[in-house]
A and B are shown apart, each in its own frame.
Chain A
Amino acid sequence: MTSEPVLVVGGRSDIGLAIAHRFAAAGHAVQLAARNVTTLAVDKADIELRHGVAVTLCELDILATESLPGFVDQLAPLPAVAVCVVGLLGDQAAAETDLKAAALVMRSNYEGPALLTGLLANRFAKRGHGTIVGISSVAGDRGRARNYVYGSAKAGYTAFLSGLRNRLAKTPVHVMTVLPGFVRTRMTEGMALPPRLVAAPEDVAEAIFRGVAKRKDVLYTKPVWRLVMAVIRALPESVFKRTNL
């Protein structure tokens, strides 16, 4: 591996920080982008101390569309790997009736991540190399009553990444879609999750680190989820619509 910088967009999330640590441990400089990025000053110090790499912080609200090109321009240097971790689970019940709440979930999981990833991919293509990592979710594999607003936005992002990969397949730029199952983070705090299906943020980070090295296309960070989702996808709609998964 080289030690070129890795950009983590959504640096305040547990998964994002774990990814930053994993790449830093391999000697990569880290660029953390997030809202209220100054709150990451302690994490910056921690990563620098533990791993002896440089960490830079950049403020970014991924929904401020007009600011995205400027954000990409000011990255110095342009990172070798860009990971987009941004997402918002939101409240499904609220999203069913409140248009604003639904729109926020849709934009945070699809519009913002897709626009930024697209911009970065163009820069990488122009430069001639780079890896895009987009964190989507198994929730995007089939819409379920429980979280379909979130799931549909993730499905959109999954499709976007798939198309981007298809477009860039003949270039050196690599696009990896990451589909985590349940992960113990701020997002799932307090939820009762089936222990066998839950991963720690560090496990996700390790899987992503290896996936990047092996140039994987689609990564289920916990392999059992590939099987679980294959079964869920295979259910005929007439059966599926009656389930409560």
Chain B
Amino acid sequence: MLISGWGRYPLEECVLQQPRSETDLLALLGQGPLIARGNGRGYGDCAQNAACTVDMRRFNRMLTFDPATGCLAAEAGVLLSDVIASFLPRGWFPTVTPGTKYVTVGGMVAADVHGKNHHRDGSFGAFVDWLDVLGADGQVRRCSRDQNAELFAWTIGGMGLTGVILRAAFRLRRVESAWIRQTILPSPNLETAMRIFEDHAAASYSVAWIDCLAGGSALGRSIIALGEHAMAAELPAPSRTHPYDVPAKKKLRIPFDMPAVLMNSWTVRAFNAAYYHREAGKRGERLVDWDSYFYPLDALADWNRIYGRPGFLQFQCVLPLAGAHRGLTALLRVIAESGQGSFLAVLKRLGGGQGGAFSFPLEGYTLALDFPVSSRSLALMERLDEIVLAHGGRFYLAKDSRLSARTLRASDDRVAQLVEMRRGLAATSFRSSQSERLQL
């Protein structure tokens, strides 16, 4: 079966297995190397293996919930969208969520995902109480900060390379409503955008859409969106009595692969300029429902088809705080000059919270953007790699489909430790196309 990540590149012919039980999984483990796959929302080739890709979505049961602590134990294939559907009406929301709700619990742990609150709360791993991990020896181990602590640390952010996550217990947070008080702050350039992030370090949520094609004095112009969970008392009267109800939304679908030529520098430049001015006009505070605030892209099913058949690449790096301004300026200049940037570009301040032993986030700024698949994009991204390396930054493997093993090693001295940790059975049992490319 042809399989790819969300970016639809690289497409690979893989044997897809859909086990229903631990017994089924054990049988697969005996047959050779495999990689666990969640809902395929990683962009690149992290969740595929030609010989054996293991779809975990049949492990999809919620197990226990403790309302005293907000701790939910669930099987790894449970979707975040289902967690929200069950628990938001009861006043609970995920403590950390990525920009799509169509991810599995296992995928969130394995990538140690970060959300718009990373600067304050850290990544998903910080709210995981324990994991059950199936190891290469066929044993299932409960691990936590106190028990099998090393396995716990490396599995969070370990991209499926330490074993198969079977179950996880993680915390939800109390919310009084399903609404977010959103504040829009336009910023004419990068410097102001960064200052706004620093000034609003106390905001619960913050993220910026950045126009990566604007150059010159408008380099890095952004729309920053801050957010706070609204208290019930802050809602308009009709919602106050039903604070967890939000209007039903229509879901749109991209019905076919759009011709790749539609995504060119003119259309994107024009779109970005129009978008900036429209959003800048919304300056100020308003109430937004949870789905529109956290998951705007989810309203457009199959939106990855807008890049056409060849698919797209995502570039996401983080630069340490100290050199972030210089590094981001250099990155944005190269992108703006190339004219290859996309509509979807995101800038976000990450905090210093410690996730797993191989997690992506570090204190600084993360920039994420898409490029259509082409040799020009690949060449551009290699130039960007060099800038990231020069500024001490690193790369997010959940988004990667093209990094070289050499660049990864140059960016991250934890690679050697991961390889060491995996030495032996794990290295031969858990392999993805990405781990092979990166020689992990």
Q: Which residues of A contact B (CB under 8 A)?
A: 42-43, 45-46, 49-52, 186
In the complex the two chains form, is B61's CB within 8 Å of A51's CB? Answer: no
In this complex, what residue of B is CB-closest to A45? B63
Interface set, chain B 48-73, CB cutoff 8 A to A:
60-65
Cβ contact of A46, chosen from B62, B85, B90, cutoff 8 A: B62
Q: How far is the CB of B301 from chain A (nearest CB, A)?
A: 16
CA distance A49 to B327 in the complex (A): 47
Which residues in A have their C-beta under 8 angstroms from that of B65?
49
Which residues in A have their C-beta under 8 angstroms from that of B86?
49-51
- By secondary structure, the B interface counts as mixed
Scan B85-103; emit 1 where CB is below 8 A from any A CB, else 0: 1100010000000000000
CA distance A83 to B158 in the complex (A): 44
Which residues in A have their C-beta under 8 angstroms from that of B20?
186
Which residues in B have their C-beta under 8 angstroms from that of A45?
61-64
In the complex the two chains form, is A49's CB within 8 Å of B63's CB? Answer: yes
In this complex, what residue of A is CB-closest to B65? A49
Which residues in A have their C-beta under 8 angstroms from that of B85?
50
Which residues in A have their C-beta under 8 angstroms from that of B63?
42, 45-46, 49
In this complex, what residue of A is CB-closest to B60? A46
CA distance A46 to B83 in the complex (A): 11
Which residues in A have their C-beta under 8 angstroms from that of B62?
45-46, 49-50
CA distance A43 to B63 in the complex (A): 8
Which of the listed residues A45, A49, A51, A186 has the most CB atoms from chain B within 10 Å of its own CB? A49
Which residues in A have their C-beta under 8 angstroms from that of B363?
none
Q: Which residues of B contact A (CB under 8 A)?
A: 20, 60-65, 82, 85-86, 90
CA distance A52 to B87 in the complex (A): 10
Q: How far is the CB of B59 from chain A (nearest CB, A)?
A: 10
In this complex, what residue of A is CB-closest to B63? A45
Which residues in B have their C-beta under 8 angstroms from that of A43?
61
In this complex, what residue of B is CB-closest to A43? B61
Give 23 A-B contacts (CB < 8 Å), ordered by A residue: A42-B61, A42-B63, A43-B61, A45-B61, A45-B62, A45-B63, A45-B64, A46-B60, A46-B61, A46-B62, A46-B63, A49-B62, A49-B63, A49-B64, A49-B65, A49-B86, A50-B62, A50-B82, A50-B85, A50-B86, A51-B86, A52-B90, A186-B20
CA distance A182 to B60 in the complex (A): 23
In this complex, what residue of B is CB-closest to A42? B61
In this complex, what residue of B is CB-closest to A49? B62
CA distance A212 to B157 in the complex (A): 46
CA distance A51 to B64 in the complex (A): 13
In this complex, what residue of B is CB-closest to A46? B61
Which residues in B have their C-beta under 8 angstroms from that of A186?
20
Which residues in B have their C-beta under 8 angstroms from that of A51?
86
Q: How far is the CB of B376 from chain A (nearest CB, A)?
A: 36
CA distance A186 to B82 in the complex (A): 23
Which residues in B have their C-beta under 8 angstroms from that of A50?
62, 82, 85-86
CA distance A42 to B63 in the complex (A): 7
In this complex, what residue of A is CB-closest to B89? A52
In this complex, what residue of B is CB-closest to A44? B61
In this complex, what residue of A is CB-closest to B59? A42
Which residues in B have their C-beta under 8 angstroms from that of A42?
61, 63
CA distance A36 to B90 in the complex (A): 33
Which residues in B have their C-beta under 8 angstroms from that of A49?
62-65, 86
Q: How far is the CB of B68 from chain A (nearest CB, A)?
A: 15
In this complex, what residue of A is CB-closest to B86? A50
In this complex, what residue of B is CB-closest to A52? B90
CA distance A186 to B18 in the complex (A): 11
CA distance A45 to B73 in the complex (A): 11
CA distance A51 to B87 in the complex (A): 9
Q: How far is the CB of B15 from chain A (nearest CB, A)?
A: 13
CA distance A52 to B86 in the complex (A): 9
CA distance A43 to B64 in the complex (A): 11
Q: How far is the CB of B39 from chain A (nearest CB, A)?
A: 15
Which residues in B have their C-beta under 8 angstroms from that of A52?
90
Q: How far is the CB of A34 from chain B (nearest CB, A)?
A: 15
CA distance A51 to B85 in the complex (A): 9
In this complex, what residue of A is CB-closest to B62? A49
CA distance A14 to B133 in the complex (A): 26
CA distance A186 to B19 in the complex (A): 11
CA distance A52 to B67 in the complex (A): 13
In this complex, what residue of A is CB-closest to B82? A50
Q: How far is the CB of B74 from chain A (nearest CB, A)?
A: 9
Q: How far is the CB of A25 from chain B (nearest CB, A)?
A: 9
CA distance A49 to B20 in the complex (A): 20
Which residues in A have their C-beta under 8 angstroms from that of B90?
52
CA distance A43 to B60 in the complex (A): 9
CA distance A46 to B86 in the complex (A): 11
Closest 4 CB pairs of A and B: A46-B61, A49-B62, A50-B86, A46-B62
Beyond contacts A49-B86, A50-B62, A50-B85: 19 other A-B pairs, Cβ-Cβ < 8 A, are: A42-B61, A42-B63, A43-B61, A45-B61, A45-B62, A45-B64, A46-B60, A46-B61, A46-B62, A46-B63, A49-B62, A49-B63, A49-B64, A49-B65, A50-B82, A50-B86, A51-B86, A52-B90, A186-B20
CA distance A115 to B82 in the complex (A): 37
CA distance A8 to B221 in the complex (A): 58
CA distance A49 to B82 in the complex (A): 11
Q: How far is the CB of B267 from chain A (nearest CB, A)?
A: 33
In this complex, what residue of A is CB-closest to B58? A14
